């Protein structure tokens, strides 16, 4: 897939359709500078804006970001409250630009746990941007993969109990259709910033065959050039999906 006409190209033949990011390092970025953690989250918002624009420019169709995990509810109340307020203010301030730039907003996770004000702002933004087509930004909020899989299994059990699904018909496709990400393609590339090298309960089912890229850059410093580095690394890899190199070459 090639980027849109007039956009800067980065390995155009191998641009991933869907990029997922674990935005890590806000707190450590702030601590290094003697700043409160909330300042790191504020700068992280700037990094997301820059990365989203770069992703659209390079031709990425879907960008999923780990904005707030289920486990994050266990952080100090003051930080959680600040993050929820930041979410609301960011949605209000960013929606006009999202509309101008053709960004469609979607969300995954246990959204019922969000405060009413944050959930209402999010739903309004999703509704307002639903016809945009340049790039889809998927916010993983109150999300963890194990929670998502647990909810998916409950849904499948419910379908079986109601007689709309036979146990023998349950397969990978059925499970995928019960996930929060049912309407999106699986990620091709997973990026984690901040120097840590783990997946942290993020899209465990969906990244089964994704390429992984770990960046030492703290999230507030991430942007176009750091994304370019990840995309170049992705383009240099051979995706075999369990096959041999010879089989892939024959298919090409």
Q: Which residues pair with 107 in a beta bridge?
A: 139
71 is in an annotated binding site: yes
73 is in an annotated binding site: yes
28 is in an annotated binding site: yes
To 10 degrees, what angle do helices 37-58 and 77-100 make?
Answer: 30
41 is in an annotated binding site: yes
Residue 132 annotated to the active site: no
205 is in an annotated binding site: no
- Among the listed residues 39, 46, 72, 97, the single catalytic one is 72
49 is in an annotated binding site: no
User: Residue 212 burial by CB count (10 A; 0-12/13-18/19+): exposed, middle or buried?
Assistant: middle
69 is in an annotated binding site: yes
198 is in an annotated binding site: yes
Cβ atoms of residues 67 and 122 within 8 Å? no
97 is in an annotated binding site: no
Residue 147 annotated to the active site: no
- Among the listed residues 24, 180, 188, 221, the single catalytic one is 24
Pairing of β 18-22 and β 103-108: unpaired
Residues contacting residue 203 through CB under 8 Å, at least 6 positions apart: 20, 64, 140, 145, 181, 187, 190
17 is in an annotated binding site: no
Structure tokens at 126: 């999703």
Nearest to 108 by CA among 213, 23, 183: 183
Structure tokens at 162: 């109601």
Tell me which residues are annotated as active site.
24, 72
Q: Which residues are annotated as a binding site for Mg(2+)?
A: 24, 211
Q: Which residues are annotated as a binding site for substrate?
A: 25-29, 37, 41, 69-71, 73, 75, 192, 198-200
Q: Which residues are annotated as a binding site?
A: 24-29, 37, 41, 69-71, 73, 75, 192, 198-200, 211
């Amino acid at each position: 897939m090639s980027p849109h006409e007039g956009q800067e190209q980065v390995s155009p033949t191998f641009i991933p359709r869907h990029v997922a990011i674990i935005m890590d390092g806000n707190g450590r970025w702030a601590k290094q500078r003697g700043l409160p953690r909330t300042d790191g989250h504020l700068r992280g918002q700037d990094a997301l804006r820059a990365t989203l624009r770069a992703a659209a420019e390079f031709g990425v169709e879907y960008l999923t970001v780990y904005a707030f995990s289920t486990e994050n509810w266990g952080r100090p109340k003051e930080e959680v409250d600040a993050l929820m307020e930041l979410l609301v203010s960011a949605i209000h301030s960013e929606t006009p630009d999202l509309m101008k730039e053709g960004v469609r907003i979607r969300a995954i996770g246990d959204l019922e746990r969000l405060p009413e004000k944050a959930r209402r702002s999010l739903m309004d933004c999703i509704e307002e941007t639903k016809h945009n087509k340049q790039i889809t930004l998927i916010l993983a909020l109150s999300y963890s993969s194990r929670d998502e899989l647990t909810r998916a299994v409950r849904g499948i059990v419910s379908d079986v109990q109601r007689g709309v699904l036979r146990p023998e018909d349950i397969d990978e496709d059925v499970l995928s259709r019960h996930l929060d990400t049912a309407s999106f393609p699986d990620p091709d590339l997973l990026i984690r910033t901040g120097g840590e090298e783990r997946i942290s309960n993020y899209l465990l089912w969906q990244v089964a065959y994704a390429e992984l890229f770990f960046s030492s850059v703290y999230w507030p410093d991430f942007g176009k050039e750091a994304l370019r580095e990840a995309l170049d690394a992705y383009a240099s890899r051979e995706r075999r999906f369990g096959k041999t190199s010879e089989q892939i070459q024959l298919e090409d």
